[in-house]
Amino acid sequence: MDARERQTIRMIANAVRALSADAIELQQSGHPGMVLGAADVGAYLYCKVLRHNPRNPAWPGRDLFILSAGHGSMLQYALLHFSGYDLNMEDIRRFRQHHSRTPGHPELGETPGIELTTGPLGQGIAAGVGMAMARRFLAARFGSDLFDSKVWVLAGDGCMMEGISAEAGSLAGTLGLDNFVLLYDRNDVSLDGPISEVFREDVASRYRAYGFSVHEIDGYDYDQMEEAFSRAREESRAPTLIIIKTVIGLGAPEKEGTCAAHGGPLGPRDLRALKKHLGWPEEPAFHVPEEVYGYFRSLHPMQQHMEENWKARFAARVARDPGKAEAWECHSQRRLPGDFSDQIWALPVPLDQSTRKCSEAVLNKIAQLLPFVVSGSADLSSCDYTWLKFDRIVGRDDWHHQQIKFGVREFCMAAAAYGMQVHGMIQPVVGTFLTFSDYMRNALRMTAMMRQRVIFLFSHDSIQLGQDGPTHQPVEHLMALRLIPNFTVIRPGDENEVKAAYIAAFQVEAGPVALCMTRNPVKSTVSARTAERALRGVARGAYVLHGEPGRECDILLIATGTEIHPAVAAAGLLESEGLRVRVVSMPSWELFDRQDQAYRSSVLGGVARLRVSVEAGRTLGWQKYVGADGLAIGVDTWGASAPDNVLFDYFGLTAPKIADRIRTAIASR
Ligand SMILES: Cc1ncc(C[n+]2csc(CCOP(=O)(O)OP(=O)(O)O)c2C)c(N)n1
């Protein structure tokens, strides 16, 4: 780099600083500290490192850049604006305002050039690892010359303190993800003060132990950056960590080096002092020298050329192997064959088995039908049955398969899964026990917020799971998942409902799906009679399993999962006493709530003396369907360690106990 270019990049870094400080000051909201500190790293990256094309942000051969420290969003907005993305000065001025394209933290779909929604610290690292994994899968399928790009993640001290950074680092090191580069903006200050009070570990040694190549550089020395970034680019065995020493709030004299710089506007005095320090005009605000735009414009032909070059490689690849064009289309659109539903529906699955066992058969078939599906588990594949029997597991040097082991790292698995789904061309299905869904919870809500259809397979979906006891028995989890907006929970109750649940899951267009499966075998009491009803009914969230739709009845009994079986048996007991009972299977609240009024009334409508829900989990919430005076049968305390037939009896979930509760409730009216 010659002296002139060095000077230009320094000016660009200063333009990032001034513009960000002005936007934060104008809106009296935002985080200037890391932007002032890391502006040189950001400028160097966007000027000298990233392979991208601002005129085509979605070009598949591009590098990906993720700001895990999402609170520093102005750093990225400024650089996207300068680079020539479709983000103008008015967008910058409207920082953090309603409906602006520059929200408080980067949000997928709001701003061109933003690859991922970030904000919860550390998750961007795991999501970046997921994206790097997606690229490995695609490199194996389509050629590493098409997927030789890198995933760059910029993280701060907070991200490195979060446990998920350990899960993600350890996984990336184990898998030898040499396309993953973690940039650690080390300014030694977080929101509450100097990190020496809370974080004294040797991060370099920690990441070396994970299997990373580690470099430590000064955040203002472009020669060191050149050396470290080129080595990261060339690295071909291991992921890279670059620890970049910076000063928070650099150039704002009252706040520099302290947590006062972290999360609020600088204030007029410090802003003036900053601009003086940068050699920037005090007025007008939002001043950007023409040379800044000029420099980035000068990069455009090279960026365009990079993309053209990639397209030529792609064309050559397809010319050599025409089948690849078809495979590319299939992956890009994550396309289902026209007869997908028929093929799944026709699949023989084991009868009178746990729903997880049926799920195994269906998932194995789906993975064979859909080459873009990858299945993984957090060390429970032989329990949640995400195991693909026909395939092997991907590893450091072999990504030709559809199966991943995440190790015991649920949170990382969930964030990596949404990273893969956001990346595109890959559809993850990831599993663990339902009770551990709350280890993953923030990643589940991020998946929902970004409207990504990750399929989460949660087995061991109630207290009925053997003798592991209350630590392993989900109680509040079904309701807790239903609370997440834009999240579809499906809890099938027999082999037909399992098939129908998968068909429905692959029809969900935007948003995650949890498929909840039982551990224990269930003697199916209903399947033969109700197969066709299940196919249509699961897709609509609920259907009449026993009795007639819309007809007046004494008792309307709604059940989910394998509780449909004791519910139907209880109906038989009550009917023998002259009561008219309708049983509704309701595997999915969310799918049901999307149906029109006529359908909903046909399932739940008609006069009933008593409405009852049966679900082996918290009852809070069922009042929505059974009414305030209805009867919600479930588990409102912790489970216990005992055989499941003992527990179901103890918690009142057997047919005779359900019938008893209903008789008592009717008698008291
Ligand atoms: C999971 C999570 N916990 C807490 C926060 C709130 N938070 C935002 S930034 C921050 C401090 C981060 O410190 P650092 O990474 O050093 O950023 P810097 O001070 O350099 O801007 C905290 C606690 C968050 N965004 N995510």
List all residues 6 or more positions away from 669 whose beta carbon is below 8 Å from its beta carbon. Answer: 609, 610
Does 607 score more than 90 pLDDT? no
**How many Å lie between the centroid of ligand 1 and the Cα of residue 120?**
8
Ligand 1 binding pocket mutation candidate from 36, 167, 191 (most atoms within 8 A of CB): 191
pTM of the predicted structure, to 2 decimals: 0.97
CA–CA distance, 451 with 446 (Å, rounded to integer): 8
The model's confidence at residue 644, banded by pLDDT at 50, 70 and 90, is: confident
Q: How far is the CA of 29 from the centre of ligand 1 (A)?
A: 15
C-alpha to C-alpha distances, 12 to 46, 175, 324, nearest whole angstrom: 10, 36, 42
Predicted pLDDT at 158: 98
Computed on alpha carbons and rounded to an integer, the radius of gyration of the chain in Å comes to 28
Nearest CA to ligand 1 atom 22: 191
Atom in ligand 1 nearest the alpha carbon of residue 156: 15
pLDDT digits (tens, 9 = 90+) for 213-236: 999 999 999 999 999 999 999 999
CB of 33 within 6 A of ligand 1: the answer is yes
Kindly give the number of the ligand 1 atom that is closest to the alpha carbon of 38: 20
Q: Where are the alpha helices (DSSP H) in 115-219?
A: 123-142, 157-161, 163-175, 203-210
Q: List Cα–Cα distances, 60 to 395, 424, 622, in angstroms.
A: 23, 9, 45
Question: Within 10 A of 251 (CB to CB), how many other CB atoms are there?
Answer: 24
DSSP structural state of residue 56? -
CB 151 within 8 A of CB 131: yes
Q: d(Cα 651, Cα 634) in Å, to the nearest integer?
A: 7
Which pLDDT tens digit goes with each residue over 81-139? 999 999 999 999 999 999 999 999 999 999 999 999 999 999 999 999 999 999 999 99
- 75 Cβ closer than 6 Å to some ligand 1 atom: no
Question: For residue 338, what pLDDT is reported?
Answer: 97
Longest dimension (CA), the chain: 94
Tell me the average pLDDT across 59-66: 97
- What is the Cα–Cα distance from 404 to 174, expressed in whole angstroms? 12
In DSSP terms, 427 is beta-bridged to 373
Q: Is pLDDT of 529 > 90?
A: no
pLDDT for position 526: 63
CA–CA gap between residue 457 and residue 364 (Å, rounded): 13
- Residue closest to 478 by CA, chosen among 294, 618, 357: 618
Smallest CA-to-CA distance from 614 within 576, 572, 580, 657 is with 657
Of 27-41, 429-443, 537-551, the one with minimum mean pLDDT is 537-551
- Cα–ligand 1 centroid distance for 156 (angstroms): 8
Mutate to test the pocket of ligand 1, among 262, 411, 442 (most ligand atoms within 8 A of CB): 262
pLDDT 10s digits, 249-261:
999 999 999 999 9
Three-state secondary-structure class, residue 145: coil
- Asked if residue 191 has its Cβ within 6 Å of ligand 1, the reply is yes
The CA 198 to ligand 1 mean position distance, Å, reads: 13
Residues 437-472: tens digit of each pLDDT? 999 999 999 999 999 999 999 999 999 998 899 999
> Of all residues in the chain, what percent carry a pLDDT higher than 90?
94
Query: Does the beta carbon of 157 lie inside 6 Å of ligand 1?
Result: yes
Tokens standing for residue 348: 């023989």
pLDDT of residue 523: 75
- Helix, strand, coil share of the chain (percent; to 5): 45, 15, 40
Residue 522 has pLDDT above 90, yes or no: no
Q: Answer yes or no: are the C-beta atoms of 487 and 515 closer than 8 Å.
A: no
Tokens 């999501």, residue located: 127
Q: Tell how far the Cα of 71 is from the centroid of ligand 1, in angstroms.
A: 7
Q: Could you tell which of 190, 203, 246, 247 is best to mutate to test the pocket of ligand 1, judged by most ligand atoms within 8 Å of the CB?
A: 190
Q: How far is the CA of 157 from the centre of ligand 1 (A)?
A: 8
Q: Is the pLDDT at 525 greater than 70, yes or no?
A: no
- C-alpha 253 to ligand 1 mean position (Å): 22
Of 258, 261, 310, 282, nearest in space to 53 by CA: 310
Q: Do 619 and 636 contact (CB within 8 A), yes or no? A: yes
121 Cβ below 6 A of ligand 1 = yes
Q: Is 190 in the pocket of ligand 1 (CB under 6 A)?
A: yes
Q: Could you give the CA distance from residue 377 to residue 411 in angstroms, rounded to a whole number?
A: 11
- Provide mean pLDDT across the span 350-375: 96
Question: What six digits make up the tokens of 277?
Answer: 């320090």
11 close to ligand 1 (CB < 6 Angstrom): no
pLDDT for residue 548 = 86
Atom of ligand 1 nearest to the CA of 187: 20
Beta strand 213-218 with 240-245 is parallel
Q: Which pLDDT score, from 0 to 100, does residue 550 have?
A: 78
- Confirm or reject: Cβ of 445 under 6 Å from ligand 1: no
Asked whether 126 lines ligand 1 (CB < 6 A), one says no
Q: Would you state the pLDDT for residue 630?
A: 97
Q: Answer yes or no: is the C-beta of 158 below 6 A from any ligand 1 atom.
A: yes
Q: Cβ(120) to ligand 1 under 6 A?
A: yes
Q: Given the CA of residue 185, which atom of ligand 1 is nearest to it?
A: 20
* Ligand 1 close to Cβ of residue 32 (< 6 A): no
Measured from the CA of 155, which atom of ligand 1 is nearest?
15
Ligand 1 center from residue 4 Cα (angstroms) = 36
The minimum-distance atom of ligand 1 relative to the CA of 161 is 15
Given a contact cutoff of 8 angstroms between Cβ atoms, the answer to whether 513 and 505 are in contact is: yes
Kindly report the average pLDDT of the chain as a whole number: 96
In this prediction, residue 530 has a pLDDT band, given cuts at 50, 70 and 90, of: confident
Atom number, ligand 1, closest to the C-alpha of residue 263: 21
Residue range 397-415: mean pLDDT, rounded: 97
Predicted local distance difference test score (pLDDT) of residue 351:
84
User: Which amino acid residue places its CA nearest to atom 23 of ligand 1?
Assistant: 191
Measured in Å, residue 318 CA sits from the centre of ligand 1 at 45
Active site residues: 410
Amino acid identity of residue 192, one-letter, is: D
Assess contact for 632 and 601: CB atoms under 8 A: no
Instruction: Find out whether the beta carbon of 244 lies less than 6 Å from any atom of ligand 1.
Output: no
What distance in angstroms lies between residue 191's CA and the mean position of ligand 1's atoms?
Answer: 6
Tell me: cis bond preceding 322? Omega within 30 of 0 counts. Answer: no
Q: At what angle do helices 495-505 and 527-539 cross, to 10 degrees?
A: 20
Tell me what percent of the residues of the chain surpass a pLDDT of 70.
99
**Nearest C-alpha to atom 26 of ligand 1 is from which residue?**
120
What pLDDT, on the 0 to 100 scale, is given for residue 528?
A: 62
pLDDT at 254: 94
Which two structure tokens, joined as six digits, stand for 323?
């089948």
Ligand 1 site, residue 74, Cβ cutoff 6 A = no
**Does the pLDDT value for residue 635 go beyond 80?**
yes
For residue 255 and ligand 1, the question of a CB distance below 6 A is answered with no
